Amino acid sequence: MEVIKYAFEPHGDDRGQLVAIEAQLDIPFEVRRVYYIYDTLAGVRRGFHAHQDLEQILVCVHGSCKIHLDNGYETAEVVLDKPHEGLYISNDMWREMYDFSPDAVLLVLASRHYDEADYIRDYEVFLKMVHDKETNQ
């Protein structure tokens, strides 16, 4: 499985650091939704879903967390611990976020507005969809 990380250029001086992320220049889609996850308790896993169409970039802007990715055939574990690095997650990719540091803030840039119909929340349904798509190609 190919894991795609984006290295965003930090700009800094003695005043601090700044990272700018521009849609369709620094990431491959127009940003339609932004949200962030924080104050996640120890031992909690989040996510447990895939999307039919939505693409995302995840950036742990503070602290660290791990991302479990599953494309229906292979899995990967990715550590996010740099505020200038983003993880691209395509549609048709099961994701789980876990092992959040107490100070973690996970920022998510999404290609679509929230649409519950786009979510695949049942892992078996996800596997069937992935395998059906491969069979129909």
Catalytic residue set: 49
From the number of C-beta atoms within 10 Å of its C-beta (0-12, 13-18, 19+), residue 78 rates as middle
Is there a contact between 85 and 7 (Cβ–Cβ < 8 Å)? yes
DSSP code of 83?
Answer: T
**Ramachandran area for residue 116 (φ above 0: left; ψ -120 to 50: alpha; else beta):** alpha
Is there a contact between 86 and 59 (Cβ–Cβ < 8 Å)? yes
